């Protein structure tokens, strides 16, 4: 079992009357890749800055390896930071940029000798795949190479923790994906704890051991990428992590939920009889079938080609669902859908209920043909259908 390295205990942060973090509790393990995920302004960068010592929490405590460090300044913490803007020294080459921190006087008053500096810099440049670039000017490097120099400069001091504040934000999509793999490889190779901030859920899912979803200064859920995606705890998490259709339901019994007056088998248990719930159905978990054989039937209102898949918007009783499929159904066609029990996830109602999940405004590029104004009249086969 991994050893706990960092703990935030009942931490809050306020700027004047604006509460940015509201009593959060979080622990980070040694050698863990943990991602703080959430929309702009949710408090994730503030959390990072508190860990780094750039901000002192209004209330609460920060512990490093069991020792309270609220009053320890950034340069005395075993933590380094890589920002979105790499802040490389343009008058120095790759080697000199990487070695910069090693040439400074250490807290114990000693300096490293030149041979030790050379050895550590060359070791780090090899780890970040920049061996042979040591004499190159940083101004001649690509964005991804500059980022690797910034990472090497941060890691060459051998910190216990590396903080990364949206470091891939300035890169194009292809390079971002390449650097995601590189960052995970570097973290595993060095064994250093990474705390990563992003608003990009794909980055969080691809790289992290643990994902912390934050909204409005409150931690909404902590878990593995698989847990966060497959078992969201509320409508915000379900909507923010990937695409989700979130509809109202009624829990009839363990393993049986009612949606739009129809009964669907599910795997969820422990709810009260006839408890009103939120039901999450991922777009990729919906199968298109004929209208007559479907558990529900609706009208296709728009189609977007995504390469491998089509994003199809379907109107069910005025509520728009997103379906991701390889099967093309033309706009205006009537289709049925089938959902297996493991494709349905039931959540308790909460403060985010009713705020997400309807794809009425999914795409501004298409004029949708909706059924919202058409009165729904279930046919006899649908009334009798049970699963």
3-state helix, strand, coil in the chain (%, to 5): 25, 35, 40
The pLDDT tens digits of the residues spanning 198-225 come to: 999 999 999 999 999 999 999 999 999 9
pLDDT of residue 363: 45
The pLDDT tens digits of the residues spanning 312-326 come to: 999 998 899 999 999
Distance of CA 362 to the CA centre of its chain: 20
* Residue 151 shares a structural domain with residue 110: yes
* Residue 215 shares a structural domain with residue 252: no
* Residue 183 shares a structural domain with residue 282: no
Distance CA 162, CA 125 (A): 17
CA dihedral 266, 271, 274, 278 (to 10 degrees): -60
pTM: predicted TM-score of the whole model, two decimal places: 0.84
* Residue 225 shares a structural domain with residue 252: no
Is position 235 within any domain?
Answer: no
Is position 238 within any domain?
Answer: no
Is position 290 within any domain?
Answer: yes
Sequence-distant contacts of 310-316: CB under 8 A, at least 24 apart: 311/283, 311/362, 311/363, 312/288, 313/359, 313/362, 313/363, 313/368, 315/368, 315/369, 315/370, 315/371, 315/372, 316/260, 316/371
Is position 237 within any domain?
Answer: no
Residue in 247, 246, 276, 252 with CA at minimum distance from that of residue 264:
252
How many CA atoms within 13 Å lie on the side-chain side of 198? 25
User: Total structural domains in the chain?
Assistant: 2
* Residue 215 shares a structural domain with residue 254: no
The pLDDT tens digits of the residues spanning 325-369 come to: 998 999 999 999 999 999 999 999 999 998 988 887 654 333 333
For residue 273, the domain's CATH number is: 2.40.50.140
Q: How many residues does the chain have?
A: 387
Examine the fold and report which residue of 230, 258, 288 is the final residue of a domain before the chain moves on.
Answer: 230
Give me the domain span that covers residue 136: 4-230
* Residue 116 shares a structural domain with residue 156: yes
pLDDT of residue 143: 84
* Residue 289 shares a structural domain with residue 174: no
Residue in 3, 161, 190 with CA at minimum distance from that of residue 69:
161
Contact yes or no for 340/285 (Cβ under 8 A)? yes
Residue reference for tokens 């980022």: 147
Q: Is the pLDDT of residue 373 over 60?
A: no
* Residue 353 shares a structural domain with residue 309: yes
Examine the fold and report which residue of 182, 207, 230 is the final residue of a domain before the chain moves on.
Answer: 230
The pLDDT tens digits of the residues spanning 259-279 come to: 999 999 999 999 999 999 999
Helix (H, G, I), strand (E, B) or coil at 303: strand
* Residue 328 shares a structural domain with residue 211: no
């Amino acid at each position: 079992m991994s050893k706990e390295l960092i703990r935030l205990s009942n931490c809050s942060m306020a700027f004047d009357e604006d509460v940015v973090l509201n009593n959060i509790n979080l622990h980070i393990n040694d050698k863990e890749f943990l991602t703080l995920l959430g929309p702009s302004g949710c408090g994730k960068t503030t959390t990072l800055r508190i860990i780094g010592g750039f901000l002192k929490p209004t209330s609460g405590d920060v512990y490093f390896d069991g020792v309270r460090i609220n009053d320890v300044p950034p340069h005395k913490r075993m933590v380094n930071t890589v920002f979105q803007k790499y802040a490389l020294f343009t008058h120095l080459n790759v080697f000199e940029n990487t070695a910069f921190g090693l040439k400074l006087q250490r807290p114990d008053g000693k300096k490293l000798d030149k041979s030790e500096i050379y050895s550590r810099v060359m070791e780090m440049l090899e780890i970040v795949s920049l061996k042979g670039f040591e004499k190159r000017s940083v101004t001649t490097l690509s964005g991804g190479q500059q980022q690797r120099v910034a990472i090497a400069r941060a890691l060459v001091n051998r910190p216990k923790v590396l903080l990364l504040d949206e470091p891939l934000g300035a890169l194009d999509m292809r390079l971002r994906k390449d650097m995601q793999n590189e960052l995970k490889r570097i973290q595993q190779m060095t064994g250093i704890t990474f705390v990563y901030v992003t608003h990009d859920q794909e980055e969080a899912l691809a790289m992290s051991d643990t994902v912390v979803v934050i909204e409005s200064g409150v931690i909404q859920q902590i878990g593995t990428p698989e847990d966060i995606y497959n078992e969201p705890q509320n409508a915000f998490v379900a909507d923010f992590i990937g695409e989700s259709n979130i509809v109202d339901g009624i829990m009839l019994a363990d393993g049986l939920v009612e949606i739009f007056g129809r009964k669907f088998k599910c795997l969820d248990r422990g709810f009260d009889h006839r408890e009103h719930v939120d039901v999450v159905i991922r777009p990729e978990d919906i199968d298109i079938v004929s209208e007559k054989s479907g558990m529900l039937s609706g009208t296709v209102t728009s189609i977007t080609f995504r390469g491998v898949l089509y994003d199809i918007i379907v109107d069910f009783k005025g509520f728009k669902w997103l379906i991701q499929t390889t099967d093309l159904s033309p706009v205006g066609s009537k289709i049925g859908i089938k959902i297996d029990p493991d494709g349905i996830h039931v959540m308790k109602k909460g403060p985010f209920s009713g705020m997400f999940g309807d794809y009425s405004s999914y795409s501004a590029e298409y004029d949708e043909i909706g059924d919202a104004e058409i009165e729904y009249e279930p046919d006899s086969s649908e009334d009798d259908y049970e699963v």
